Amino acid sequence: MAGTAGRTRRTRNARVSVAAAGLTLVATACAQQRSTGIGEGGVTTRETLPSGIERVTNTIPADPGPSWTLVEELRVGSADGNGPDVFGELRGLAALPDGGFAVLDSQAQEVRVFAADGSPRAAYGGEGEGPGEFRGAHGLMLDPDGRLWVTDPSNSRLSVLDPETGFVESFRHNFAFYAYIWQGTMTADGRIVRPTLRPQGFEIYDLNMALVESISQPGPESTGLSARDAARQGEDATPSSFAWESLDRRRAGSLRVPYYPGGVRYYDREGTVWVGAHEHDPAGYRLTRQSLAGDTIFLVAARKPHLPVTREERNAAIERVREYLREQGADTDRDWSKIPDVKPAIANLFTSVEGDIWVRTPPADANSAEATWDLFSSDGAYVGRVTSPELSPLPFLTPIVQGDAFWAVATDAFDVQYVVRARITPSG
């Protein structure tokens, strides 16, 4: 995507001039606006708020058509045999400086390294407690020196590997809590950022795993309701979920309401946080870039029509909820009006190595395998839509984009995992 990278460099320069002009206007409590066309029916408007924060609003045409398409050029993954390309459960992906890649297979507790042509180069680790072995490893990061960091909460440590030679060293670390997959990130300047249990809390470490800073933001107070209490208080207490209790009162839980919009978060290479949220009125979504301390740096809004939830999709979602409740021995009569009439405007987001912003949007057809992203330059301007007719990356493993190369983990029709490298090519 060399053309897009070129636009990114130019828009960065434009952003500097806009910000400089905005500072002058802020001093006089004025606002600056500038509009540029983004295709037929589309406009980008820039505004410097009295606070000094830049807000970019993109009005996107209802159907702008694809600007770029992902064209698969390499696929590694097999359902047969016992070779290194047979993946069990991937929870980490890293694109290496030499064009190859590495994955963390949590089922085998191995890090596997592949060359740029997809051929296997090395495998490190295995189940155990010794140096270079893993237990419950669930994340993979690449540091600025090209080394691989494996998060290993069951062994209470992070292990460092050289892609060529294997184990280098490990650092003791108390994870306190951990999710299915590692929630932290490695920044471009070699800091490790990880969320904590504190409300909107973060800890920042250097590459010797020395704590550099601990940050905690004030957050909303918890209702303190258990799933059982929420079920007994009625569904109004849980607008985004169906709280349930089994008829024998032995089990309780909650189930998210289908199509109910939720916020998404992404920790980028610069050590900042992107928060994406569905907006009802006006229709579209909002992206907020924040410092780890919670200060807003930048605002991007996308104004576009919401996709409706069809009758067939709604009925299918209701049947899935009923089936789950039947399995739990719970009442299947629910307030189905809680299911929204439109789909969430944003599924997830990430930024490329160059700083472009990729926002994955829901498919128009729930049965379609096509993946679609709205693409913004680093200064927040909408530059087009990227589509992938066949490739649909796993939602919990963030793709990697550098230049015109797109790396991701996906599954085929038989749920076999594979790694794909695609080329971002102009459509048409």
Residue 72 CB coordination number (10 Å): 14
CB hemisphere CA count around 264 (13 angstroms): 23
DSSP three-state, residue 33: strand
- Cβ–Cβ under 8 Å, residues 378 and 11: yes
CA 250, CA 232: separation in Å to the nearest integer? 13
Quick one: CA dihedral 119, 121, 123, 124, positive or negative? negative
Query: What is the pLDDT, as a whole number, of residue 25?
Result: 25
pLDDT confidence of residue 5: 37
Task: Provide the pairing of β-strand 273-279 with 284-290.
Answer: antiparallel
CB atoms within 10 A of CB 174: 8
Q: How many CB atoms lie within 10 A of CB 63?
A: 10
- Determine the 3-state secondary structure of 22 from DSSP: helix
Judge contact between 155 and 174, C-beta under 8 A: no
| Domains of the chain by residue range | 68-220+377-389+405-426
Structure confidence at residue 414 (pLDDT):
86
Beta bridge partner(s), residue 276? 264, 287
* SS3 state of residue 264: strand
Q: What is the pTM of this model?
A: 0.86
**Would you state the pLDDT for residue 395?**
87
CB half-sphere exposure, 96, CA atoms < 13 A: 21
| pLDDT tens digit sequence for 1-13 | 444 333 333 333 3
pLDDT at 231: 52
pLDDT score, position 2? 40
CB 122 within 8 A of CB 132: no
- Per CATH, the number for 68-220+377-389+405-426 is 2.120.10.30
What tens digit of pLDDT does each residue of 297-330 get? 999 999 999 999 999 999 999 999 999 999 999 9
Phi, psi of 224 (to 5 degrees): 75, 5
Nearest-angstrom CA–CA distance, 394 and 91: 10
Nearest CA-CA partner of 310 in 385, 363, 359, 348: 363
d(CA 385, CA 358): 9
Residues in the chain with pLDDT < 70? 1-41, 198-200, 217-237, 366
Measured at the CA of 229, the angle between CA 227 and CA 233, to 5 degrees, comes to: 120
